[in-house]
């Protein structure tokens, strides 16, 4: 089976972990600072603060921005649930805008409509879904006009660029995940990037029990500190990130070309935008049958995401006008795109889709559903 994801962790990462273990500094320490500095350099930001995962990166950012009870944050319903959960964990209300039909990222027109109707919005949280940057120029203009924060959920977009700028450096803050399936991994981990020294300090303090120094704690915080072991893996991965992303983009270009004349819809790459294809997501009205056909050909696939967040049981009673997101949830199917694919495997993925006949593959089980 050609897997949907295959984390590439090898001798370099093992050597880095061995060095940390031998140093005896296993928890937060110099290796974490080195990881932060390296990631800030990649994003082109002044600061980067490591956290335990992408969710805590978002949560800590909202806490540092002072987002809380009585506040609303506009975000997308078509994302992993962590995007909205972080808003709620900070005590605020997520308000869902619809997504653009071409990219499935948050629609600035929908955001503008919500901003015009509500006076309790304090932040906008676009998600760079599948490694595709959201329309940041228009979202930044809206955030500036309404004096609200703009926080990038870049969990799936390490190294992606929008109009020449690296995502995570455009808004007030960027939040990343280093989960094993991401474009770069630290086993588990997260990062907050920003050019604001006060925001960076507040994030760091919240992630360390509100610690100012020693045993002086200025506020209530969490223990969201990353370990040095994870940081060592992550820093080794950052050296390989450019080649990882190049391979993903090459695989995507090949599939775009091969699938152009098939019945499926391939991803849209807008001018001036350089996605990094955390996922290669097609759309089809015959998803279950196609997934079954792919499985029979030895090709894995997955659905990201089968249920919009506002339709999740945890968000019962949360209204949203999001027909595009709801339609997308019924039609998306992700194919293997990771850099570990061989030439033969990427060709077989294309052949498997090309040979699909909906008239034959009519009875099929539900495709595998994966977290991100």
Q: Each residue of 232-281: pLDDT tens digit? A: 999 999 999 999 999 999 999 999 999 999 999 999 999 999 999 999 99
pLDDT of residue 300 exceeding 60, the answer is: yes
18: pLDDT strictly greater than 70: yes
CB 322 within 8 A of CB 99: yes
The percentage of the chain sitting over the pLDDT mark of 70, rounded to a whole number, equals 97
Question: What spatial distance separates the first Cα and last Cα of the chain, rounded to whole Å?
Answer: 20
Largest CA distance in the chain: 68
Q: Are residues 131 and 270 in the same domain?
A: no
Return the CATH number at 295: 3.90.1150.10
Residue 170 lies in a domain: yes
How would residue 369 be classed by pLDDT, with cut points 50, 70 and 90?
low
Q: What is the pLDDT of residues 25-45, one digit of tens each?
A: 999 999 999 999 999 999 999
Would you say 280 and 104 are in contact if contact means Cβ atoms under 8 Å apart? no
Q: For residue 371, what pLDDT is reported? A: 55
Mean pLDDT to the nearest integer, 127-154: 98
- Residue 121 bridge partners (DSSP): 72
Is residue 196 located within the same domain as residue 280? Answer: no
Residue 109 has pLDDT above 60, yes or no: yes
Beta 72-75 vs 93-96: how paired, if at all? Answer: parallel
C-alpha to C-alpha distance for 100 and 176, rounded to whole angstroms: 22
Residues 181 and 200 in one domain: yes
Angle at which helices 54-64 and 197-206 pack, to 10 degrees? 120
Structural domain for 64, as ranges: 11-235
Residues 322 and 301 in one domain: yes
pLDDT digits (tens, 9 = 90+) for 76-105: 999 999 999 999 999 999 999 999 999 999
- In this prediction, residue 359 has a pLDDT band, given cuts at 50, 70 and 90, of confident
362 occurs within a structural domain:
no
The values of phi and psi at residue 59, to 5°, are -60, -50
Looking at the fold, whether 218 and 303 belong to one and the same domain comes out as no
The continuous run of DSSP H or E covering 334 comes out as strand 332-335
Q: Which of 186, 215, 235 is the last residue of a domain?
A: 235
**Tokens 């980067």 identify what position?**
48
Q: Which residue has the tokens 């944050």?
A: 73
Residues 304 and 210 in one domain: no
* Per-residue pLDDT at 362 exceeds 80: no
Indicate which CATH number applies to the domain containing 193: 3.40.640.10
The CA-based angle 176-181-184, given to 5 degrees, is: 55
Residues 76 and 193 in one domain: yes
Total domain count, the chain: 2
């Amino acid at each position: 089976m050609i897997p949907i994801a295959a984390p590439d962790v090898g001798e370099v990462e093992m050597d880095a972990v061995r060095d940390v273990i031998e140093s005896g500094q296993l928890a937060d320490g110099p290796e974490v600072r080195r990881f932060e500095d390296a990631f800030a350099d990649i994003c082109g930001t002044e600061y980067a603060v490591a956290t335990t995962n992408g969710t805590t990166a978002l949560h800590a950012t909202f806490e540092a921005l002072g987002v809380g009870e009585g506040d609303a944050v506009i975000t997308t319903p078509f994302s992993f649930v962590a995007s909205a959960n972080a808003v709620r964990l900070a005590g605020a209300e997520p308000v869902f805008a619809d997504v653009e039909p071409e990219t499935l990222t948050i629609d600035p027109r929908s955001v503008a409509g919500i901003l015009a109707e509500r006076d309790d919005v304090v932040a906008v949280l676009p998600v760079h879904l599948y490694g595709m940057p959201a329309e940041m120029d228009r979202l930044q203009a809206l955030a500036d006009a309404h004096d609200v924060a703009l926080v990038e959920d870049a969990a799936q977009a390490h190294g992606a660029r929008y109009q020449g700028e690296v995502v995570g450096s455009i808004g007030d803050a960027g939040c990343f995940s280093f989960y094993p399936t991401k474009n770069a991994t630290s086993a588990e981990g997260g990062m907050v990037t920003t050019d604001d020294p006060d925001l960076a300090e507040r994030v760091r303090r919240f992630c360390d029990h509100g610690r100012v120094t020693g045993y002086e704690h200025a506020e209530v915080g969490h223990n969201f500190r990353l370990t040095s072991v994870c940081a060592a893996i992550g820093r080794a991965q950052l050296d390989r990130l450019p080649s990882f992303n190049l391979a993903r983009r090459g695989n995507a270009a090949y599939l775009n070309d091969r699938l152009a004349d098939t019945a499926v819809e391939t991803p849209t790459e807008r001018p001036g935008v350089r996605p990094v294809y955390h996922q290669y997501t097609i759309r089809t009205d015959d998803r279950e049958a196609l997934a079954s056909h792919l499985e029979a050909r030895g090709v894995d696939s997955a659905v990201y995401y089968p249920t919009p967040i506002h339709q999740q049981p945890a968000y019962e009673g949360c209204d949203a006008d999001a027909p595009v997101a709801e339609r997308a949830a019924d039609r998306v199917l992700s194919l293997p795109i990771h850099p570990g694919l061989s030439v033969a495997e990427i060709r077989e993925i294309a052949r498997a889709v090309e040979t699909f006949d909906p008239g034959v593959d009519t009875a099929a089980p539900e495709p595998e559903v994966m977290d991100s």
